[in-house]
A and B are shown apart, each in its own frame.
Chain A
């Protein structure tokens, strides 16, 4: 079969690409569009390293066919910062040293942004459940959760969380 022609909006830019049916959105982001921020940790929906936001909902881009993105609006980790200015979530991950190898970080950043867009004032328990689909093999989840809670406080305009 000839390749599919797909028209989407990625990180606020109109984007067109060609893909085979079996290519996932993650395959196309990384291999065709050179948006290599999203990572492939498992390719089975378990690790969350490939998390992107599609039409307002976060999904595993490894579990979505690229051709399904026709007409969709996609946000990847590359679209989180405002130009050179880091998003508060990114800034807080740096400040709290909430990463070591960094492989899981793009997924955590996107998932955290999706959380705070939907619920600006999560409890720690809500944040932990929300991020249950993001696995990290090095940092330990505590620093990550501290960064998330601090980013939430900052985005609400409150003083630094204790």
Chain B
């Protein structure tokens, strides 16, 4: 067995050189809450672990609601939860991250790791996609900025090329009368994996009519789904019964789930419609300036 090496580079260039120098055999390390489990089980057999946490800027949150936030890719969920301005502007994203694992997991887990682990049930991903989050990707060819939904391409697979890793996640400027929310359905209240997750972001006009929406479902397909038809069901409407019914139907129609121990295909589809309604209700209330509790 080839022995496992570890490097803690202190610059992006050094990290890219290390990752590119061992294509397919090197893995970036953020919080390790997926990677260490996979190392132990033998599912992941890298030869080199590149710890990103010593690169300046990888840990920390900058920016504000008006200009947008930049979240270093190795920033833990606990740090996001402690950031009052981030929480006030993007409660859905922060709550989605906070749902991941226990308080111990929160001490280390990151948005970038959740995204790049590429689980279809990853909790923060629907919330990030709904929010219009982008990933700043660095690699041998320099830097590129992509929508987060382009990163996971299937369970455990990403679009990142050899030598590439994510330096930061950005959230756009927070528009007036907009709000986001994320809810997941699990059979208990803590420590489980989503049967269905749903992220919603809406912008309203002064009369409470929706002018823009993004509706995203998790755990009902090999990747998260940005459901344009569900967004279209909201735009031009207030959240009345007919709108909710149309949203529910559009969410159900988009699902391509599997049956597993957490739920059957039929159950997941039904729950997706319900979760879309509930999540939209919270996003609308927040866009109207009401501080409502999500999870």
**A interface with B by C-beta (< 8 Å):** 1, 4, 20-22, 24, 43-46, 48, 51, 54, 57-60, 62-65, 67-68, 70, 111, 114-115, 129-134
Contact = CB atoms under 8 A, between A and B. Distances in A.
Contacts, number: 85
Nearest to B82: A118
A20 B49 CA distance: 12
Interface of B: 3-6, 8, 29, 31-33, 36-37, 39-40, 49, 51, 53, 76, 78, 101-105, 107-108, 190-191
Chain A at the B interface: SS class: mixed
Given A129-B190, A133-B191, A59 B108 contact: yes
A54 B76 CA distance: 13
Contact of B78 (A21, A57, A65): A57
Contacts of A65: 6, 29, 32, 36, 49, 51
Contacts of B33: 45, 60, 63
A13 B263 CA distance: 50
Given A44-B40, A57-B78, A133-B191, A111 B104 contact: yes
Given A63-B33, A63-B36, A64-B108, A133 B6 contact: no
A123 to B, nearest CB: 14
26 contacts: A1-B3, A21-B4, A21-B5, A21-B6, A24-B36, A44-B37, A45-B33, A45-B36, A45-B37, A45-B102, A54-B107, A60-B33, A63-B32, A63-B105, A64-B32, A64-B36, A65-B49, A65-B51, A67-B8, A111-B103, A129-B103, A129-B190, A131-B103, A132-B190, A133-B101, A133-B103
B3 A63 contact: no
Contact of B107 (A46, A58, A115): A58
B6 A132 contact: no
A62 B4 CA distance: 17
A43 B105 contact: no
Contact of A132 (B29, B108, B191): B191
B105 A133 contact: yes
Nearest to B33: A63
B5 A1 contact: yes
Contacts of B36: 24, 45, 62-65
Given A1-B5, A54-B107, A43 B102 contact: no
A22 B104 contact: no
Contacts of B76: 57
A79 B101 CA distance: 26
Contacts of A21: 3-6, 49
A44 B41 CA distance: 9
Pairs A-B, 5 closest by C-beta atoms: A133-B102, A57-B107, A132-B190, A59-B107, A21-B6
Given A54-B107, A68-B51, A133-B104, A63 B190 contact: no
Contacts of A64: 32, 36, 108
A108 to B, nearest CB: 12
Contacts of B8: 67, 70
A63 B37 contact: yes
